[in-house]
Homo-oligomer: A and B are copies of this chain.
Amino acid sequence: MSEPTIFELSRPGRRGVEMPACDVPSRPAAQLLPAGLIAEAPPALPEVAERDVVMHFTRLSRANFSVDTHFYPLGSCTMKYNPKVNEAIAALAGFAEAHPYAADLAPGLVEALAELSEALCEITGMAVVSLQPAAGAHGELASLLVARAYFASRGEKRKIALVPDSAHGTNPASCALAGLEVQTVKSGANGLLSLRDLERHLSGDVAVMMITNPNTLGLFEKEIAEIARELHEAGALLYLDGANMNAILGVARPGDFGADLMHLNLHKTFGTPHGGGGPGAGPIAVTAALAPFLPAPVFSRDASGEAFLDFNRPQSIGRVRTFYGNVGILIRAAAYIRALGPRGLRDVARYAVLNANYLRARLAEKYPAAMAGACMHEFVATGEPFAAHGVKTLDIAKRLIDYGIHPPTIYFPLIVHEALMVEPTETESKETLDRFVEVMLKIADEAEKSPELLKSAPNTTEFSHFDEVAAARKPRLTWQPPAAG
């Protein structure tokens, strides 16, 4: 039974929530505003009862896979368990009801955000943090603008950004947005960057190199320190895409291996829920040299140790958003960091890496990893061996849905053919991993013996095999009432 849209449930005159009568002496709106401003009718929102709304959206929710209901090893996204206590904490009236221009009335919140900023500095090994960016991509943009402001302050006109071919799409897109010219750097056969490749691209025009470490193949860039050194010698900066920090929390710090600036995805590494696509939070952390250029304000402390919002940053690039950041998410991450403590955070990395390697090892025979050797928190396998049976990675992904498992990330990174990017995260138990292996091996078997099972998958869901090409060719992006027949 497919659920109708909320518009189809609408009936003229039906009411959901009603508002109280006006308690002030008042005139009609038409007398309070000049002619021509008021719409004849309110917008055509659906007219539904509260009961309809609750049933409709509750039913819709049940059509989702989610971390709370399914194993969700979506590579690059760190779909770990999101602690319920953090939801309760973020909902506390003292946080949820604070107004951004009444920081003076919310000193505890300012303190919490200052503590978070400090913790992120210690975790990354960087000097100063800005909590403003709303997500990873936003942090990338903010950082690149910081880098550009830094060079501008030195009278340098560097305009090139080096981006590995394995990079996430947001990296080159952020460069473009920041007015930088992207040059793609090829990964080596081992999936890593090499000094030699890099040297070919280095010049006085290079402003920044964006490196994801561990990279999107789940490998640690071994030459990172040398790369940083060469970049620095060439006067360029090393940007660290921190999306994969889950692998190295407490084990290695970007600031220690040469990063000048970076973003974090709190919605990945620090356990905040992904919300069906967001919101996240993408704080950025920079070295002392770059700190003057951070978006203002920054959470800081005065001489007496009191936390405050520091607006007085004359070299700042300005704002990248209104107010101070996605505070509701920041608070969850702050609570997560406090809950785990330094050892707990380090264990996150250790067990995330253990889980990934366990899956890698158990699946290797049927799903060879793109690169040999140990991985970090995730690994990229290839579905190529099944090509002989006419089976693609996409088919494997869809078949997983039939077994109640959310598919891994597929076809990313772009440099791996038929990529299948598996990130189990540390919160999943050995039993869950074993079941995943069992299912994956069963699917491999099916692929060989009855590939049609995969080609037709998923077979257990309400819908299957959407015609996405037709959908994009003639997009229908809003609900339209059926044409009167």
Contacts and interface: CB of A to CB of B under 8 A. Distances in A.
A50 interface: yes
Interface stretch (A51-59, A256-264, A291-299): A51-59
A14 B83 CA distance: 16
A68 interface: yes
Nearest to A48: B429
A1 interface: yes
Contact of A69 (B9, B49, B52, B55): B55
A11 interface: yes
Given A1-B404, A62-B62, A84 B11 contact: no
Given A1-B404, A404-B1, A427 B58 contact: no
A42 to B, nearest CB: 22
Contacts of A59: 69
A358 interface: no
A429 B68 contact: no
A62 B54 CA distance: 15
Interface in A72-122: 81, 83-84
Nearest to A51: B81
Nearest to A430: B11
Interface residues of A, number: 23
A81 B50 CA distance: 9
B84 A49 contact: no
Contacts of A69: 55, 58-59, 62
A181 to B, nearest CB: 45
Contacts of A58: 68-69
Nearest to A93: B93
Contact of A50 (B1, B49, B83, B431): B83
Interface in A1-29: 1, 9, 11, 14
A interface: dominant SS: loop
Interface string A35-56: 0000000000000011110110
A469 B288 CA distance: 76
A199 to B, nearest CB: 46
A136 B368 CA distance: 64
Contacts of A81: 50-51, 54
Contact of A429 (B1, B11, B62, B404): B11
Contacts of A62: 62, 69
A431 B8 CA distance: 11
A427 B54 contact: no
Given A1-B404, A62-B69, A69-B59, A429 B54 contact: no
A395 to B, nearest CB: 21
A206 to B, nearest CB: 44
Contact of A51 (B51, B54, B427): B427
B1 A54 contact: no
Contacts of A83: 50
A81 B58 CA distance: 13
B52 A68 contact: no
Contacts of A49: 427, 429
Given A14-B429, A49-B427, A54-B84, 13 more contacts: A9-B431, A11-B429, A49-B429, A50-B81, A50-B84, A51-B428, A52-B429, A54-B81, A55-B68, A55-B69, A58-B68, A58-B69, A59-B69
22 contacts: A1-B404, A9-B431, A11-B429, A11-B431, A49-B427, A50-B81, A50-B83, A51-B81, A51-B427, A51-B428, A51-B429, A52-B429, A54-B68, A54-B81, A54-B84, A55-B68, A55-B69, A58-B68, A58-B69, A59-B69, A62-B62, A62-B69
Q: 9 nearest interchain CB pairs?
A: A51-B81, A58-B68, A51-B427, A1-B404, A58-B69, A54-B68, A59-B69, A55-B68, A62-B62
